[in-house]
Amino acid sequence: MDVPVNTARSYREDFGQAALGDDPGVLAMIRDPRLNLAVWRGAAAAANNSYLMDLDISKLSPDVRWTSDYRREILNYTWPVHQLRDESRLLALDYALEDAGFPEGSGGRMDMARTIIDLVGHFAAVCKPNGGSVGTSLMAFQPSENNFWHTDKGDLLGLVTLRGAAGTWWRPDCTMRENGRDIEATPVRANDPLAQATAPGDLLLLKCRDTDQALIHGSPPVPGQRLVMVMWPF
Protein backbone atom coordinates (compact mmCIF):
# COMPACT_ATOMS: atom_id res chain seq x y z
CA MET A 1 0.00 0.00 0.00
CA ASP A 2 1.43 3.38 -0.99
CA VAL A 3 1.09 6.06 1.65
CA PRO A 4 0.74 9.68 0.44
CA VAL A 5 2.54 12.22 2.55
CA ASN A 6 -0.64 13.80 3.88
CA THR A 7 -1.71 10.51 5.47
CA ALA A 8 1.69 9.21 6.53
CA ARG A 9 1.09 10.05 10.17
CA SER A 10 -2.23 8.21 10.31
CA TYR A 11 -0.64 5.06 8.88
CA ARG A 12 2.27 5.20 11.26
CA GLU A 13 1.26 2.16 13.29
CA ASP A 14 1.45 -0.08 10.21
CA PHE A 15 4.03 1.56 7.97
CA GLY A 16 6.10 3.93 10.10
CA GLN A 17 6.65 7.47 8.95
CA ALA A 18 7.16 6.47 5.32
CA ALA A 19 6.18 7.51 1.82
CA LEU A 20 6.29 4.81 -0.88
CA GLY A 21 5.67 5.10 -4.60
CA ASP A 22 6.55 3.96 -8.11
CA ASP A 23 7.82 7.38 -9.25
CA PRO A 24 11.14 9.06 -8.35
CA GLY A 25 9.21 12.12 -7.20
CA VAL A 26 8.41 10.27 -3.99
CA LEU A 27 12.03 10.76 -2.86
CA ALA A 28 11.51 14.51 -2.39
CA MET A 29 8.94 13.71 0.29
CA ILE A 30 11.80 12.93 2.68
CA ARG A 31 11.95 16.69 3.32
CA ASP A 32 8.61 16.46 5.09
CA PRO A 33 9.21 16.55 8.87
CA ARG A 34 6.65 13.78 9.39
CA LEU A 35 8.70 11.26 7.41
CA ASN A 36 11.89 9.33 8.11
CA LEU A 37 11.78 7.14 4.98
CA ALA A 38 10.94 7.58 1.29
CA VAL A 39 10.97 4.56 -1.03
CA TRP A 40 11.02 4.68 -4.83
CA ARG A 41 9.85 1.21 -5.71
CA GLY A 42 11.56 -0.52 -8.63
CA ALA A 43 14.17 2.21 -9.08
CA ALA A 44 16.83 -0.24 -10.29
CA ALA A 45 15.28 -2.49 -12.92
CA ALA A 46 18.59 -4.34 -13.23
CA ALA A 47 18.36 -5.71 -9.67
CA ASN A 48 18.71 -9.49 -9.60
CA ASN A 49 19.15 -9.72 -13.37
CA SER A 50 21.08 -12.67 -14.79
CA TYR A 51 24.38 -10.74 -14.86
CA LEU A 52 24.21 -9.90 -11.15
CA MET A 53 22.90 -13.30 -10.10
CA ASP A 54 25.75 -15.07 -11.91
CA LEU A 55 28.42 -12.99 -10.13
CA ASP A 56 30.61 -14.71 -7.56
CA ILE A 57 30.63 -11.87 -5.05
CA SER A 58 33.37 -13.55 -3.03
CA LYS A 59 35.79 -12.86 -5.91
CA LEU A 60 35.07 -9.13 -6.14
CA SER A 61 37.87 -6.98 -4.67
CA PRO A 62 39.39 -10.04 -2.95
CA ASP A 63 42.10 -7.98 -1.23
CA VAL A 64 39.55 -5.86 0.66
CA ARG A 65 38.92 -7.09 4.19
CA TRP A 66 35.52 -7.71 5.71
CA THR A 67 34.56 -4.69 7.83
CA SER A 68 32.57 -7.06 10.04
CA ASP A 69 31.81 -10.77 10.01
CA TYR A 70 29.17 -10.26 7.33
CA ARG A 71 30.01 -7.08 5.36
CA ARG A 72 32.73 -6.03 2.93
CA GLU A 73 33.10 -2.86 0.85
CA ILE A 74 34.09 -3.78 -2.69
CA LEU A 75 33.94 -0.34 -4.32
CA ASN A 76 33.99 3.27 -3.09
CA TYR A 77 33.44 6.15 -5.49
CA THR A 78 32.92 9.94 -5.15
CA TRP A 79 30.81 11.95 -7.60
CA PRO A 80 30.99 15.72 -8.16
CA VAL A 81 27.31 16.35 -8.86
CA HIS A 82 27.90 18.82 -11.71
CA GLN A 83 29.96 16.19 -13.61
CA LEU A 84 27.61 13.30 -13.01
CA ARG A 85 26.36 12.97 -16.58
CA ASP A 86 29.74 13.44 -18.26
CA GLU A 87 30.63 10.52 -20.53
CA SER A 88 34.04 10.44 -18.87
CA ARG A 89 32.34 9.59 -15.56
CA LEU A 90 30.62 6.59 -17.11
CA LEU A 91 33.91 5.32 -18.51
CA ALA A 92 35.74 5.95 -15.22
CA LEU A 93 33.09 4.00 -13.31
CA ASP A 94 33.30 1.15 -15.81
CA TYR A 95 37.08 1.01 -15.24
CA ALA A 96 36.55 1.05 -11.46
CA LEU A 97 34.07 -1.83 -11.72
CA GLU A 98 36.53 -3.74 -13.89
CA ASP A 99 39.28 -3.21 -11.29
CA ALA A 100 36.90 -4.54 -8.63
CA GLY A 101 36.45 -7.73 -10.63
CA PHE A 102 33.13 -7.17 -12.41
CA PRO A 103 33.31 -8.99 -15.77
CA GLU A 104 32.22 -7.69 -19.16
CA GLY A 105 29.21 -9.18 -20.88
CA SER A 106 25.95 -8.39 -22.62
CA GLY A 107 23.73 -6.55 -20.18
CA GLY A 108 26.68 -6.56 -17.81
CA ARG A 109 29.24 -4.16 -16.43
CA MET A 110 28.50 -1.10 -18.56
CA ASP A 111 24.75 -1.46 -17.94
CA MET A 112 25.50 -1.69 -14.24
CA ALA A 113 27.57 1.51 -14.48
CA ARG A 114 24.63 3.29 -16.13
CA THR A 115 22.28 2.00 -13.44
CA ILE A 116 24.57 3.32 -10.70
CA ILE A 117 24.86 6.75 -12.34
CA ASP A 118 21.09 6.97 -12.77
CA LEU A 119 20.49 6.12 -9.10
CA VAL A 120 23.13 8.61 -7.94
CA GLY A 121 21.50 11.27 -10.12
CA HIS A 122 18.10 10.83 -8.48
CA PHE A 123 19.69 10.75 -5.02
CA ALA A 124 21.69 13.92 -5.73
CA ALA A 125 18.61 15.74 -7.08
CA VAL A 126 17.08 15.51 -3.61
CA CYS A 127 20.12 15.61 -1.34
CA LYS A 128 22.49 17.94 -3.24
CA PRO A 129 20.27 20.10 -5.52
CA ASN A 130 22.77 22.99 -5.48
CA GLY A 131 25.84 20.93 -6.28
CA GLY A 132 28.53 19.33 -4.17
CA SER A 133 29.47 15.66 -4.09
CA VAL A 134 27.88 12.28 -3.44
CA GLY A 135 29.72 9.25 -2.10
CA THR A 136 28.84 5.78 -3.36
CA SER A 137 29.80 2.39 -2.01
CA LEU A 138 29.05 -1.15 -3.15
CA MET A 139 28.82 -3.48 -0.18
CA ALA A 140 28.87 -7.28 -0.22
CA PHE A 141 26.85 -8.97 2.52
CA GLN A 142 26.70 -12.56 3.65
CA PRO A 143 24.14 -14.05 6.08
CA SER A 144 24.99 -13.49 9.74
CA GLU A 145 23.38 -14.06 13.11
CA ASN A 146 25.23 -11.00 14.42
CA ASN A 147 23.42 -8.36 12.38
CA PHE A 148 21.67 -5.84 14.62
CA TRP A 149 19.02 -3.21 14.09
CA HIS A 150 20.84 0.09 13.75
CA THR A 151 20.84 3.66 12.53
CA ASP A 152 23.52 5.33 10.40
CA LYS A 153 25.70 8.39 10.86
CA GLY A 154 25.04 11.57 8.94
CA ASP A 155 21.93 13.30 7.67
CA LEU A 156 20.51 11.26 4.77
CA LEU A 157 21.43 7.90 3.30
CA GLY A 158 20.39 6.07 0.13
CA LEU A 159 20.23 2.26 -0.08
CA VAL A 160 19.49 -0.04 -3.02
CA THR A 161 19.71 -3.84 -2.96
CA LEU A 162 21.10 -4.79 -6.38
CA ARG A 163 21.36 -8.50 -5.71
CA GLY A 164 19.78 -10.72 -3.10
CA ALA A 165 16.50 -11.29 -1.37
CA ALA A 166 14.19 -9.12 0.71
CA GLY A 167 15.87 -5.77 0.20
CA THR A 168 16.43 -3.84 3.44
CA TRP A 169 14.30 -4.46 6.55
CA TRP A 170 13.03 -1.59 8.67
CA ARG A 171 11.11 -1.10 11.89
CA PRO A 172 7.89 0.88 11.39
CA ASP A 173 7.14 0.84 15.11
CA CYS A 174 9.78 3.38 16.07
CA THR A 175 12.39 6.00 15.28
CA MET A 176 15.55 6.81 17.20
CA ARG A 177 13.85 9.91 18.58
CA GLU A 178 11.32 7.78 20.45
CA ASN A 179 13.35 4.73 21.40
CA GLY A 180 16.86 5.91 22.10
CA ARG A 181 19.44 3.25 21.37
CA ASP A 182 17.84 0.36 23.20
CA ILE A 183 16.70 -1.33 20.01
CA GLU A 184 20.25 -1.37 18.65
CA ALA A 185 21.04 -4.22 21.06
CA THR A 186 18.42 -6.37 19.31
CA PRO A 187 19.52 -8.76 16.54
CA VAL A 188 17.59 -8.84 13.26
CA ARG A 189 15.51 -12.01 13.35
CA ALA A 190 13.38 -13.61 10.63
CA ASN A 191 10.44 -14.04 12.99
CA ASP A 192 10.30 -10.37 14.03
CA PRO A 193 6.58 -9.51 13.74
CA LEU A 194 7.33 -5.79 13.41
CA ALA A 195 9.82 -5.98 10.54
CA GLN A 196 8.84 -4.60 7.13
CA ALA A 197 10.79 -5.52 3.98
CA THR A 198 11.50 -3.51 0.88
CA ALA A 199 12.22 -5.23 -2.44
CA PRO A 200 15.45 -5.59 -4.42
CA GLY A 201 15.74 -2.60 -6.73
CA ASP A 202 13.89 -0.22 -4.40
CA LEU A 203 15.74 3.02 -3.62
CA LEU A 204 15.41 3.88 0.06
CA LEU A 205 16.13 7.45 1.15
CA LEU A 206 16.27 7.51 4.94
CA LYS A 207 17.07 9.93 7.72
CA CYS A 208 20.12 9.30 9.93
CA ARG A 209 21.48 10.29 13.34
CA ASP A 210 22.10 13.98 12.58
CA THR A 211 18.32 14.32 12.46
CA ASP A 212 16.03 13.44 15.36
CA GLN A 213 14.16 10.92 13.19
CA ALA A 214 16.79 8.34 12.30
CA LEU A 215 15.28 5.23 10.71
CA ILE A 216 16.03 1.91 12.41
CA HIS A 217 16.86 -0.71 9.78
CA GLY A 218 18.95 -3.80 9.15
CA SER A 219 20.06 -6.41 6.64
CA PRO A 220 17.53 -9.22 6.23
CA PRO A 221 18.40 -12.57 7.86
CA VAL A 222 18.00 -14.49 4.61
CA PRO A 223 20.32 -17.00 2.88
CA GLY A 224 22.53 -16.05 -0.03
CA GLN A 225 24.96 -13.27 -0.86
CA ARG A 226 23.71 -9.72 -1.28
CA LEU A 227 25.09 -6.68 -3.12
CA VAL A 228 23.92 -3.32 -1.77
CA MET A 229 24.58 0.17 -3.11
CA VAL A 230 24.96 2.92 -0.47
CA MET A 231 24.89 6.68 -1.17
CA TRP A 232 25.55 9.67 1.08
CA PRO A 233 25.89 13.44 0.48
CA PHE A 234 29.07 15.48 1.13
Residue 21 lies in a domain: no
Is residue 36 assigned to a domain?
A: no
What 3-state DSSP class applies to 37?
A: strand
123 and 232 Cβ atoms separated by less than 8 Å: no
- Phi and psi torsions of 52, nearest 5°: -70, -40
Could you read off the pLDDT of 95-139 as tens digits, one per residue? 999 988 899 876 689 999 999 999 999 999 999 988 889 999 999
Does residue 19 lie within any of the structural domains?
no
The pLDDT value recorded for residue 40 is 96
pLDDT in tens, 192-209: 888 888 999 999 999 998
Question: Cα–Cα distance between 141 and 109 in angstroms, integer?
Answer: 20
What letter represents residue 149's amino acid?
W
* Range of the structural domain that residue 210 is part of: 43-233
6 within a domain of the structure (yes/no): no
89 membership: H or E segment, kind and range: helix 87-99
219 found inside a domain: yes
Average pLDDT, the chain: 83
Q: Residue by residue, what is the 3-state secondary structure of 166-226?
A: CCCEEEEEEEHHHHCCHHHHCECCCCCCCCEECCCCCEEEEECCCCCCCEEEECCCCCCCE
From the number of C-beta atoms within 10 Å of its C-beta (0-12, 13-18, 19+), residue 163 rates as: buried
Each residue's pLDDT tens digit, 151-192: 898 999 999 999 998 888 888 777 777 666 667 778 888 888
In a domain, 95, yes or no: yes
Report the domain count for the chain: 1
Residue pLDDT, tens place only, 132-157? 899 999 998 887 777 888 889 899 99
In a domain, 212, yes or no: yes
pTM: 0.89
Whether residue 32 lies inside any domain: the answer is no
